[in-house]
Structure 1
Amino acid sequence: MADGIEIPHFIRLSDLSDRQIEDVLELSARIKRGVSRAELAGRTVGMLFFRGSLRTRISLEVAMHQLGGDTVNLTAASDFWELEAREGTVMDGAAPEHIKDAATVLSSYLSALAIRPAPAGASWEVDRRDEGIHAWAACSQVPVINMESALWHPLQALADLLTLRETLGDLRGKRLAITWTHSPEPASPAVIHSIVLAALRNGMRVAVAHPAGFELDGGVLDEARRVSSSTGGELEIGLGMETAVSGAHIVYARSWKSLEVYGNPTLAASRMARTGDWLVDEKLMALGEEARLMHPMPVRRNLEVTDEVLDGPRSLLYRQAENRLHTQKGLLSLLLRR
């Protein structure tokens, strides 16, 4: 068993080396089979939520408790006040406390801080910097874990990797079709950014389908191309649904915001109105190579994916969601063992 993970923070999957990812996934699989159990008695993770959560919050809390540790959950607005992140500012606004002070004090109470920040939503160029969680990481003396920022969702990526390996075995050369789906409230592209890079690190052939105007972050795509060139993976972007899914082993469905009109709800609604046919159904899935479906949830039934697919044998959604618990146990066991 690995001795532990020596990293300051877990903001994105690339904070872990290939060997460290293997250690997390191997331990997670053993924990899932019931043949390994790490004890984290006396360790406490503080969880700060600046926006809502269901699976992430519950799975992380259950993971810590089942490992013998504890969690403390705080929700912005109801449990604590606004915090200032800017350095050197005169604090004469609404925030009565600086992140520097809050992080330093919380570090003396806790073994780690898990944070789900709330992007402002006005400018993608601003939100993509993930300044909030980086401010916490800069000031914290204990590891900061990203529970989904604007740009990354590394906890979901770990669960996705375990699910992919359980389903396909060796991932090298396997085709992963990532398809945009219609939703009145599309999410940030954090999940998709994370799974694209995770899959390419494992040598997968990744095909991304989306309507015009829903391109992923340019900086992330540049990084994805560099990763694919070094691992033997392949990346195709801007495809139609049928082209992407043809021959795919896994179809990963998800709706994400148009970054071109990010922060402009009127233009975003107009663009969304033209995308109602971006629905995953059995006819689409049949184009794959005995394709299975993944989706990080929540999923809008019969708008993103039909009931027939979600409730049928192709769906991996419940296993994928369960694996959030196991991979978070694996990560916490190694991260907090040090």
Structure 2
Amino acid sequence: MSLKHFLNTQDWSRAELDALLTQAALFKRNKLGSELKGKSIALVFFNPSMRTRTSFELGAFQLGGHAVVLQPGKDAWPIEFNLGTVMDGDTEEHIAEVARVLGRYVDLIGVRAFPKFVDWSKDREDQVLKSFAKYSPVPVINMETITHPCQELAHALALQEHFGTQDLRGKKYVLTWTYHPKPLNTAVANSALTIATRMGMDVTLLCPTPDYILDQRYMDWAAQNVAESGGSLQVSHDIDSAYAGADVVYAKSWGALPFFGNWEPEKPIRDQYQHFIVDERKMALTNNGVFSHCLPLRRNVKATDAVMDSPNCIAIDEAENRLHVQKAIMAALASQAGIGNRD
């Protein structure tokens, strides 16, 4: 049996994703278990985290396992990812050794590595995550790189809980760009578009201009999901028509890809669209819709206090669900017969 990783949800069947969500709901009702008894996970953070680190560490503990946190360049050696490189610079060891050695110690590896924000043609290759998966003899989990599949499942579970059903088909879903003073990663937006279409919802990607449309790979994934799961997909630049009748509003900020690595001229363009903030007027256009965000969120920049404090905001539920879906992911991957090939 080939080793199964959790790099993105497109690699998993709908039945497999449904099974993870079902298990996550069970873990939410009964937090303690033994699915990871005697097992361990290395959590490799190239970028900071609050929710991700906390939920993975606690999740492993609650299932009887142990988590080890590593931060290359801080409490672990800087890592080289390119083959053929003469390593006479700052990097001390190669991923080929790092992943293999960690795989001798632990049963799972989680990786969090954001884009460098210099060259999208390189960042979109997701080199760090794919290199770990290439060399690791144990399953690798994406803790956010250019997608955020753990957030996808937490979001999906929160929606299923709110609507009282696993069947989200026919729900009108708006993924809206929101303003942020900095150009941010597209990972959560890529993932939200992916899971919303995977669940058969009628999805609108709302953004200021065509420059803010997501990478074609994820637009293609979304179109493929619509063909397989039903629902629909459209892009809109009109705020009021996009919000009208929406059942779900999901907000995220991201930088315009045509300016990737050249952010100075993008900023005055982005600054023109601060009115994309999610506020009470826009939410009043919805079908008593719910609002969510992956967090962290800058209040009164991305969304107003009133929206965040509304009973229709499920962002806290989604954040809590990170713990439960990640436990389901770890348990599923760790249960693979004869995990990996440890030489």
SS at match of 2:276: coil
State the alpha-carbon separation in 2 of the partners of residues 112 and 134 from structure 1. 15
Q: In the alignment, is residue 58 of structure 1 matched against residue 54 of structure 2? A: yes
Q: Which residue of the partner structure matches residue 208 of structure 1?
A: 205
> Which structure 2 residue ranges, 5 or more long, are not aligned?
337-343
Give the structure-2-normalised TM-score. 0.93
Alpha-carbon distance in structure 1 between the residues aligned to 2:169 and 2:114: 35
Report the CA distance between 1:261 and its aligned residue. 0.4
Measured after TM superposition, the shift of residue 98 of structure 1 is: 0.7
After the TM superposition, which residues 18-29 of structure 1 pair with which residues of structure 2 at under 5 Å, given as runs? 18-29=14-25
Is 1:236 the counterpart of 2:231 in the alignment?
no
RMSD of aligned C-alpha atoms? 1.6
Determine the C-alpha separation between the residues in 2 that align with 1:302 and 1:160. Answer: 22
Conserved in 1, the CA contact under 8 Å of 2:72 and 2:79? no
Shift of 1:267: 1.3
The aligned residue for residue 296 of structure 1 is 294
The answer to whether the 8 A contact 2:33-2:62 is kept is no
Compare 264-273 and 119-128 and name the one that shifted more. 264-273
Partner of 2:6: 10
* 8 Å CA contact 1:181, 1:255 repeated in 2: yes
- Please list, as runs of the form range in 1=range in 2, the aligned pairs for 1:1-338 lying within 5 A after superposition: 7-34=3-30, 37-150=33-146, 152-168=147-163, 169=165, 170-212=167-209, 213-338=211-336
| Equivalent position amino acid for 1:16 in 2 | W
Q: Structure 1: which 5+ residue stretches go unaligned?
A: none
How has the CA–CA distance of structure 1 residues 35 and 83 changed in structure 2, closer, same or farther, with 3 Å as cutoff? Answer: closer
Amino acid in the other structure paired with 1:22: D
The Cα shift of 1:7 comes to 4.9
CA 16–38 in structure 1, closer or farther in 2 if over 3 Å, else same: farther
1:177 and 1:87, CA in 2 relative to 1: closer, same or farther beyond 3 A? Answer: same
Aligned length: 333
Contact 2:33 2:64 in 1 (8 A): no
Q: Structure 1 residues 62-71 or 217-226, which shifts more?
A: 217-226
Kindly provide the CA deviation profile for residues 77-103 of structure 1, in whole angstroms up to 9, marking residues without a partner as x: 211222111123322222121100111
Secondary structure of 2:265's aligned partner: helix
**2:212 aligns to what SS in structure 1?**
coil
Q: What percent identity do the matched residue pairs reach?
A: 38
Whole-Å Cα distance in 2 between the matches of residues 286 and 324 of structure 1?
29
3-state secondary structure, aligned to 1:265: coil
CA contact (8 A) 2:212 2:255 kept: yes
- After superposition, the C-alpha distances for 1:272-326 in whole angstroms (9 at most, x for unaligned) are 2211111111110011111010100001101110001101111101111001111
Structure 2: how far apart are the matches of 1:58 and 1:281? Answer: 30
* Superposition deviation, residue 185 in structure 1: 2.2
